């Protein structure tokens, strides 16, 4: 039996040259020779090397290849692995996507070959790399590498899925304050600005992916918000952990702005001192018993609401643009006739959860009408660019030339979302479903966090039912929430790290190849999302700290705000 990873690939715009080789360390490990082995050097293919079959001893389970695009743009690739299934070898796995872009800096990827332990045999491995060459002939170069893996009976292993593996011990036991390390990074950026006096920022495309997920059925999910402990006032910004200790995520030559344009360097700051509740306090949301009172307080007459155009539509729900009280353009959420009583009840409960909350980065609910119990209406302020996730996807696919985001814009959006979360936490509310799909954006790039009513219907691929009658955003949640249903301020911090990842990838799906049922053990074993293409190291360090296994080790929101504000200011100096 042959196993083939089916692939597609992206486009490039430049004439191509690349290096593809095995490092000196890898050659020594496999062949006992102290030298690098180039299969392609500056675009020239070494046919002799490609025809050479390399033996993989029984004690070696990983083979590594290094590559680098020598053009101004990364080259699109398609990578496939096939093998002779004789029962001695498990299906080979790679630690990179089977389709994507060859990096412009030297990087190494790995193919893992684990034996079953059922028999002794020599198994043929074929690694095929297709590279799209957009030169005058517009052709595709295909490179084939042959390996023979030795397997011994009784010696086997098991796989661990990985995007990137962070050492939980080194992260959780880090001793230097994160802010000190971050300050050094910011100072270094400033120093570079002073020395160079001018910086040319290279545009980089973010890899796009077409990912198909299992669609979860809608069910009676618990209310999204839970209460946190009482606000404790401002907390010290100094804590344990330094991103400098995350050896596996360090990169060289990071660019402060992988995206296109720059914006005015203006950030609004949150001045309230009532910001940080206890990150480990877990309480039920007392307001969920007051749904009827909220509905009465928000009740408006049907005659004050005029429905116009449908802007989004799901299986049982719709979002429309309309007019409220004859003068205000608004968003209107409603359900269809097909919606069940349980779905309608949850829709009204979640849709009114922002009642009584006033903050510039929170979208309030203005009114409710339940004259038609099967199709209740919720009225919200109109935000002209709409859902943030859909906006980011438009930016990724360049559906409109005006959608061009700079790194400053993305950091500013992160700051605004963080301010909204900080306000919710100051009100002792844990959001539980923080993601770009639950935010909206206006023409001035002002961001507001919304309630998550209808999110499961409009974004079904983001939610999964793990067999416990609860449809949850599995790939946005920390281990303690997945395994023990613990939701705290620290769990929102974890989700905020995923939000930054979504922003820097323009709304890619996190963990596309991981089974939802394996996410808990995957995270407990220390695996995390990898650094997005073009993402500055400093920003990825923030994500990595948000994803620390121990909730107590994750940064407080005030520390995150302080760093993001200073990083934003440093980025502005490059323009």
312 found inside a domain: no
CATH code where residue 112 lies = 2.60.40.2170
Q: What is the pLDDT of residue 191?
A: 42
Q: What is the pLDDT of residue 230?
A: 31
Dihedral sign of CA atoms 565, 567, 570, 575 in order: negative
Looking at 159, 185, 214, the residue that finishes a domain is 159
The per-residue pLDDT for range 63-72, each reduced to its tens digit, is 999 988 887 7
Q: What is the pLDDT of residue 573?
A: 73
Q: Based on the domain organization, do 498 and 548 belong to the same domain?
A: yes
Q: What is the pLDDT of residue 120?
A: 86
Q: Angle CA(77)–CA(512)–CA(412) in degrees, nearest 5?
A: 95
Q: What is the dihedral of CA 500, 503, 505, 510, to 10 degrees?
A: 60
List of residues 6+ apart from 257 with CB closer than 8 A: 201, 406, 407, 408, 571, 574, 575
Q: Verify whether residue 85 is a known catalytic residue.
A: no
Closest-CA residue to 382 (of 320, 314, 301, 310)? 320
Higher pLDDT, 161 or 344: 344
268 found inside a domain: yes
Q: Based on the domain organization, do 129 and 175 belong to the same domain?
A: no
Q: Quick one: three-class SS letters along 35-85?
A: CCEEEEECCEECHHHHHCCEEECCCCCEEEEEEEECCCCCEEEEEEEEECC
Q: Based on the domain organization, do 423 and 493 belong to the same domain?
A: yes
- Decide if pLDDT at 398 tops 70: yes
The domain tally of the chain equals 2
- Decide if pLDDT at 415 tops 90: yes
Q: Based on the domain organization, do 128 and 176 belong to the same domain?
A: no
Looking at 159, 194, 225, the residue that finishes a domain is 159
Q: What is the pLDDT of residue 325?
A: 87
Q: What is the dihedral of CA 482, 484, 485, 486, to 10 degrees?
A: -110
Q: Based on the domain organization, do 151 and 217 belong to the same domain?
A: no
Per the structure block, which two tokens stand in for 566? 């200073």
Q: Based on the domain organization, do 413 and 556 belong to the same domain?
A: yes
Q: What is the pLDDT of residue 575?
A: 52
Q: Based on the domain organization, do 137 and 187 belong to the same domain?
A: no
- What pLDDT band is residue 25 in, cutting at 50, 70 and 90? confident
Helix/strand/coil for 186: helix
393 found inside a domain: yes
Catalytic entry in 412, 433, 457, 462: 433
434 found inside a domain: yes
- Decide if pLDDT at 45 tops 60: yes
What value does the mean pLDDT of the chain take?
75
163 backbone dihedrals φ, ψ, rounded to 5°: -100, -50
Q: Based on the domain organization, do 133 and 208 belong to the same domain?
A: no
366 found inside a domain: no
From CA 161, how far away is CA 157, in angstroms rounded? Answer: 13
Mean pLDDT, residues 502-515 taken together: 93
Where in the sequence is the domain holding 110, given as residue range(s)? Answer: 18-159
Of 64-78, 170-184, 364-378, 493-507, the range with the lowest mean pLDDT is 170-184
From CA 532, how far away is CA 352, in angstroms rounded? Answer: 35
Pair 433, 389: CB distance under 8 Å: no
Q: Based on the domain organization, do 71 and 212 belong to the same domain?
A: no
The helix, strand and coil proportions of the chain, stated in percent and rounded to the nearest 5, come to: 30, 20, 45
367 found inside a domain: no
Cross-strand pairs, 369: 377
Pair 332, 321: CB distance under 8 Å: yes
Higher pLDDT, 442 or 399: 442
Looking at 159, 182, 214, the residue that finishes a domain is 159
Mean pLDDT, residues 509-513 taken together: 92
Half-sphere exposure of 111 (CA within 13 A, CB side): 27
- Decide if pLDDT at 376 tops 90: yes
Of 250-259, 374-383, 530-539, the range with the lowest mean pLDDT is 250-259
- What pLDDT band is residue 547 in, cutting at 50, 70 and 90? very high
Closest-CA residue to 454 (of 347, 300, 327)? 347
- Decide if pLDDT at 387 tops 50: yes
Q: Based on the domain organization, do 140 and 172 belong to the same domain?
A: no
Per the structure block, which two tokens stand in for 424? 């919710």
Q: Based on the domain organization, do 201 and 89 belong to the same domain?
A: no
- Residue 475, classified by CB atoms within 10 Å of its CB into exposed (0-12), middle (13-18) or buried (19+), is buried
- What pLDDT band is residue 356 in, cutting at 50, 70 and 90? confident
Q: What is the pLDDT of residue 503?
A: 96
Closest-CA residue to 421 (of 493, 349, 370)? 493
- Decide if pLDDT at 127 tops 50: yes
Pair 386, 233: CB distance under 8 Å: no
- Give the neighbor-by-neighbor strand order of the sheet with 99-102: 54-56, 139-151, 121-133, 75-83, 99-102
Q: What is the pLDDT of residue 287?
A: 43
From CA 27, how far away is CA 37, in angstroms rounded? Answer: 7
Q: What is the pLDDT of residue 221?
A: 35
From CA 271, how far away is CA 426, in angstroms rounded? Answer: 12
Dihedral sign of CA atoms 194, 201, 97, 505 in order: positive
Q: Give Rg (Cα) of the chain.
A: 26
Consecutive H or E run containing 294? helix 291-298
The per-residue pLDDT for range 225-275, each reduced to its tens digit, is 454 543 223 232 222 222 222 222 223 233 332 233 333 343 332 322 233
Q: Based on the domain organization, do 433 and 513 belong to the same domain?
A: yes
From CA 303, how far away is CA 537, in angstroms rounded? Answer: 54
CATH code where residue 433 lies = 1.10.510.10
User: Helices 557-572 and 489-504 sit at what angle, rounded to 10 degrees?
Assistant: 20
Share of the chain above pLDDT 70, in %: 71
- What pLDDT band is residue 17 in, cutting at 50, 70 and 90? confident
Share of the chain above pLDDT 90, in %: 36
Q: What is the pLDDT of residue 170?
A: 39
- Decide if pLDDT at 210 tops 60: no
Q: What is the pLDDT of residue 519?
A: 93
From CA 279, how far away is CA 429, in angstroms rounded? Answer: 11
Q: What is the pLDDT of residue 73?
A: 64
Neighbours of 532 (CB within 10 A): 22
486 found inside a domain: yes
Q: What is the pLDDT of residue 58?
A: 85
Q: What is the pLDDT of residue 467?
A: 75
Q: What is the pLDDT of residue 50?
A: 81
Q: What is the pLDDT of residue 158?
A: 64
From CA 47, how far away is CA 64, in angstroms rounded? Answer: 19
The per-residue pLDDT for range 161-190, each reduced to its tens digit, is 444 544 444 344 443 444 444 444 444 444
Q: What is the pLDDT of residue 429?
A: 87
Mean pLDDT, residues 526-534 taken together: 90
Helix/strand/coil for 381: strand
Of 201-215, 268-282, 388-402, the range with the lowest mean pLDDT is 201-215
Q: What is the pLDDT of residue 198?
A: 32
The per-residue pLDDT for range 289-322, each reduced to its tens digit, is 478 888 888 999 999 999 999 999 999 999 999 9
Instruction: Rank 23-32, 50-59, 388-397 by mean pLDDT and report only the highest.
Output: 388-397
């Amino acid at each position: 039996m042959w196993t083939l990873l089916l692939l597609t690939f992206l486009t490039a715009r430049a004439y191509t040259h690349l290096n593809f080789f095995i490092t000196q360390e890898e050659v020594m490990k496999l062949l006992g020779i102290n030298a690098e082995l180039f299969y392609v050097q500056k675009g020239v293919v070494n046919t002799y090397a490609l025809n050479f079959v390399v033996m993989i001893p029984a004690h070696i389970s990983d083979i590594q290849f290094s590559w680098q695009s020598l053009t101004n743009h990364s080259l699109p690739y398609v990578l496939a692995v096939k093998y002779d299934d004789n029962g001695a070898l498990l299906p080979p796995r790679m630690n990179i996507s089977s389709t994507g872009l060859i990096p412009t800096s030297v990087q190494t990827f790995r193919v893992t070959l684990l034996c079953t332990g059922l028999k002794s045999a020599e198994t043929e491995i074929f690694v095929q790399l297709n590279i799209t060459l957009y030169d005058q002939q517009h052709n595709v170069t295909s490179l084939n590498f042959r390996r023979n893996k030795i397997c011994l009976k009784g010696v086997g292993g098991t796989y661990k899925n990985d995007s990137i593996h962070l050492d939980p011990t080194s992260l959780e036991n880090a001793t230097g304050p994160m802010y000190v390390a971050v300050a050094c990074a910011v100072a270094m950026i400033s120093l570079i600005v002073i020395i160079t006096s001018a910086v040319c920022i290279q545009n980089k495309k973010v890899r796009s992916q077409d990912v198909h997920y299992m669609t979860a059925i809608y069910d009676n999910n618990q209310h999204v918000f839970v209460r946190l402990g009482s606000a404790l006032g401002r907390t010290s910004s100094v804590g344990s952990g330094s991103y400098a200790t995350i050896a596996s995520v360090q990169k060289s030559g990071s660019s402060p702005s992988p995206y296109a344009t720059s914006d005015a360097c203006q950030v609004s700051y949150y001045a309230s001192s009532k910001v940080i509740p206890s990150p480990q306090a877990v309480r039920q949301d007392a307001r969920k018993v007051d749904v009827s009172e909220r509905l009465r307080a928000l009740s408006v007459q049907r005659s004050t609401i005029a429905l116009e155009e449908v802007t989004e539509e799901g299986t049982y729900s719709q979002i429309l643009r309309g007019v409220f009280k004859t003068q205000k353009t608004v968003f209107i959420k409603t359900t269809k006739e097909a919606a069940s009583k349980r779905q309608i009840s949850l829709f009204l409960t979640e849709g009114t959860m922002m009642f009584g909350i006033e903050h510039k980065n929170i979208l309030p609910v203005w009114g409710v009408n339940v004259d038609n119990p099967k199709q209740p209406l919720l009225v919200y302020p109109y935000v002209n660019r709409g859902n943030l996730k859909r906006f980011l996807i438009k930016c990724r696919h360049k559906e409109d030339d005006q959608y061009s985001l700079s790194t400053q814009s993305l950091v500013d959006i992160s700051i605004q979302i963080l301010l909204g979360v900080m306000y919710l936490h100051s009100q002792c509310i844990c959001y539980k479903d923080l993601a770009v799909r639950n935010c909206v954006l206006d023409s001035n790039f002002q961001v507001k966090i919304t309630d998550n009513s209808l999110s499961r219907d409009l974004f079904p691929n983001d939610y999964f039912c793990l067999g416990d009658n609860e449809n949850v955003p599995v790939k946005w949640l920390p281990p303690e929430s997945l395994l023990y249903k613990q939701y705290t301020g620290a769990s929102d911090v974890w989700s905020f790290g995923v939000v930054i990842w979504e922003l820097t990838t323009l709304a890619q799906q996190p963990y596309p190849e991981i089974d939802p049922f394996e996410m808990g053990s995957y995270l407990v074993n220390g695996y995390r999302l990898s650094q997005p293409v073009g993402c500055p190291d400093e920003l990825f360090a923030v994500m990595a700290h948000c994803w620390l296994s121990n909730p107590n080790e994750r940064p407080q929101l005030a520390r995150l705000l302080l760093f993001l504000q200073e990083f934003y200011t440093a980025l502005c100096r490059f323009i």
